[in-house]
Each structure stands twice: as structure tokens, then as C-alpha cells.
Homo-oligomer: A and B are copies of this chain.
Amino acid sequence: MSENAVRRPTIVEVARLAQVSHQTVSRYLRHNGGLKPDTVRRVEAAIEELGYRPNLVARSMRTRRTGRLAVVLPAPALLLPTRLLSAAAAVAHEAGFLMEVVSVEGGPVERSRHAWELISSGQVEGVLSLSSLPGLSDQPRTASSAAFVVVGEYDDELRGIGELADASVVGEIIEHLAGVGHRHFVHIAGPDAWSSARARRQVYTEVIERLGLVSHGVVDGDWSAQCGYDAVRALAEDSPVTAVIAANDPMATGAVRAALDRGWGVPQRLSVSGWDDLELGRFATPSLSSVVVDREEQGRVAMERLIALVRGEPEPEAARLPLNRLVLRESTGPAPVLGRRA
């Protein structure tokens, strides 16, 4: 396979051409200094002439360091948290690591197995997972010097950083809406496999109960606009529901569209809130009330934890809780007067 290419030159060949020892070339490559200017020149010339490039696999083998960190994602992650990844990558690069996104097909178990494979095969020094890795912590730690971190927001074990604090904004939304007259709510939740979805659902239920409001159900959504659409479409024409709390912006968008399609004004007849503050939600009509989530900060914090772990340093203070902030826009407003339609 692909033996069409000429064999790559090695450090020894460079050394021979430069009339030095291979170790001298290695020193040059590692920028270790302590080389005479003339030697440096000869080595550089030899490298240039042969088109030599160090074999990083061989180097990794000897040094037992790969400089690679992996981020493991479910393969069908249509909703790639790109802002989080970008920020995480920036931190990784800053620290001299190469960050790789590995998408793994199959369920959590398959993903977990794969992540473990990556870690224990010496291919990467650390793994950042955006979804839970069931059973991974049971693995014998002896076989690996790698580290893994599961991002709180997506953690499946409810031990993420400030996870419940995160979902607490659901409470703020409901309190605000209740304050402007809303009594009857529906929640469009995300898939149960996502702890962030579960947390929001849980807070929703608790707060509705605490405030003595009425929940007309929790819809099991799949994060897609379509399911948000279907959820509102499924409401009775005379449904008393006046507020929909969607667990993300696409579902909220679908809900808004369904309301408008049946002639319900948003927010005159129905208030809808989303989550994530997508750019498109800001420019939609009506613009979407949503929750600003600092994905960049999440990505940075997660990657910093991972790198600290990999380096054996103490974990950075968990004090930096990513702040979620409610942003009210046009899709929410006062509840309609009972019995009237807007």
C-alpha cells in the first residue's frame, strides 16, 4: 500500500551527509543548543538536501510522549459544540498539544471502549469526553499514564462542574414568566441521555411545583427544530398553555414556527424560550429569548483540567464556574388575558 513513495530519510542519513553523528542531528532537532555554528550549518544543509522530516512516531515511542490530546464525540453529533471545541483547541495548542477530535460511532459503551483504547494504547496523552464514558473509571489505572476528563455540561454522572447551577437558569425563566402572568407551561426537553437535558428537566419540574404553577407535560425532544414544531402542533387549540420552555434554540425555533403556523402570536399568545443563544436565534423573527452559555469558557476550563491532569499538576481551581445568563428577547412576553386570543 502506497509504496509508491521513496523511503523517507532518517536521522542517520542526515548525520552521514553532514558528517556528524546521529546524536548531533538529534540535538539540533531538539534545539538543545551547544552546537558550533559550523555544525549547525552542515546539519541544516543535509536536512534541506535530503528533505528530511523527523518521524514523530519514532520520537513518540522513545519519549513516551505524543503531544496529542483527543476529544471523543458521539459520531452522530449533529450539534457539534464548535465554540467549545475551538476554545479547547486554543488552550491545547497554547500548551503545546495537538488536539484531535475523534468521533466514535455506536453507543456510550462502544465510545467508552474506544476512548479507553486511545488512552491505553499510548496514542494520546489525555482524553476529553463530551459524553459519558460508562465504566471507564473502573478500568485498572495501572495500564495507563493517560488522563481523561468528562466535560461537566455533558457529563452523565451528575458530577460536572456547576451542573445544577447551570440548569438553575430554567428557574429564572419560569420565575420571570410567572411574574408576567404565565401559569401554564410545557417543557420541551432534550434526550435523556444528556445530563444537561436531565438537569434542565429536573429544575423545570421542581420550580413549577415550588411556585404552584401547572405543567402540561414534558416533551421528549431530540434537540431538533422539528420536534419543537411537533410539540406545539400537538397542543389543543384551546390549550391553556401560554409558555414553552425549550431546552435548546432549535427546538424553540420549531415551537415558535408551529405557534405562528396555527395563528398563535409569539409572544402574544405563546411565549417561547430557548437555550444556547445561537446567532440565528438573535436574528430570527421574533428573536429568541434564550440562555447565554459561555461555551468558550467551558471548553477552556475542561481543557485546562485535562492538561493539568496530564502533567500531573494539581487541578486548577474549580472556582471558575461558567455563568449562564438569561437573555430576554421578543419570543417571550406577558401572558395573554385569559380566554382571549391575541
Query: From residue A206, how far is it (CB to closest CB) to chain B in Å?
Result: 30
Which A residues lie at the B interface, using CB under 8 A?
1-6, 8-9, 51-58, 60-61, 65-66, 70, 75-80, 82-83, 85-86, 89-90, 93, 98-103, 105, 117, 120-123, 125, 140-147, 224-226, 228-229, 249-250, 253-254, 256-257, 260, 278-287, 310-312
Residues of B near A89 (CB, < 8 A) are 75, 103, 105
B282 with A225: CB separation less than 8 A? yes
Q: Which of B1, B2, B145, B279 contacts A4 (CB 8 A)?
A: B145
**Residue on B with the closest CB to A88?**
B103
Is A312 touching B122 in the complex (CB atoms < 8 A)? no
- The 6 A-B residue pairs with the shortest CB-CB distance, nearest first, are A101-B101, A5-B145, A56-B121, A100-B100, A53-B120, A6-B142
B312 contacts A3, C-beta separation under 8 Å: yes
Q: A75-B89, A256-B285 given as contacts; is B280 within 8 A of A143 (CB)?
A: no
A142 to chain B: closest residue by CB: B6
Q: Is the CB of A253 within 8 A of B122?
A: no
Which B residues are CB-close (under 8 A) to A226?
279, 283
Q: Are B61 and A58 in contact (CB under 8 A)?
A: yes
Task: Determine which of B5, B85, B144 lies in contact with A5 in the assembled complex, contact meaning CB atoms within 8 Å.
Answer: B144
A90 touches B102 (CB 8 A): no
Residues A121 and B278 in contact, CB atoms below 8 Å apart: no
Contact of A284 (CB < 8 Å), options: B6, B65, B85, B253: B253
CA distance A148 to B113 in the complex (A): 29
Q: Which of B57, B280, B286 contacts A57 (CB 8 A)?
A: B57
13 A-B contacts (beta carbon < 8 Å): A2-B311, A51-B142, A54-B121, A75-B86, A77-B86, A78-B86, A90-B105, A100-B100, A100-B101, A250-B283, A256-B283, A284-B285, A285-B286
Question: What residues of B have a CB within 8 angstroms of the CB of A146 in the complex?
Answer: 2
- Is B225 a contact of A142 with CB atoms below 8 Å? no
B279–A224 CB distance below 8 A: yes
Cα A287 to Cα B260 with chains together (Å): 12
A142 and B82 contacting across the interface, CB-CB below 8 Å: no
**Chain B residue nearest to A92 in the complex (CB):** B103
A8 and B122 in contact, given A225-B283, A279-B225 (Cβ under 8 angstroms) = yes
Query: Of the candidates B51, B140, B143, B310, which one forms a contact with A140 in the assembled complex, judged by CB atoms under 8 Å apart?
Result: B51
Give Cα distance in the complex from A51 to B65, angstroms: 21
- Determine the residue in chain B with the shortest Cβ distance to A255: B283
Which residues of the partner chain B approach A281 to less than 8 Å between Cβ atoms? Answer: 280
**A260 closest partner in B (C-beta):** B285
Contact B122 A57 (CB under 8 A): yes
Q: Contact at A52–B143, with CB atoms within 8 Å?
A: yes
- Inside 8 A of A101's CB, which chain B residues have their CB? 100-103
Q: Give the shortest distance, in Å, between A150 (CB) and chain B (any CB).
A: 18
**Do B256 and A2 have beta carbons less than 8 Å apart?**
no
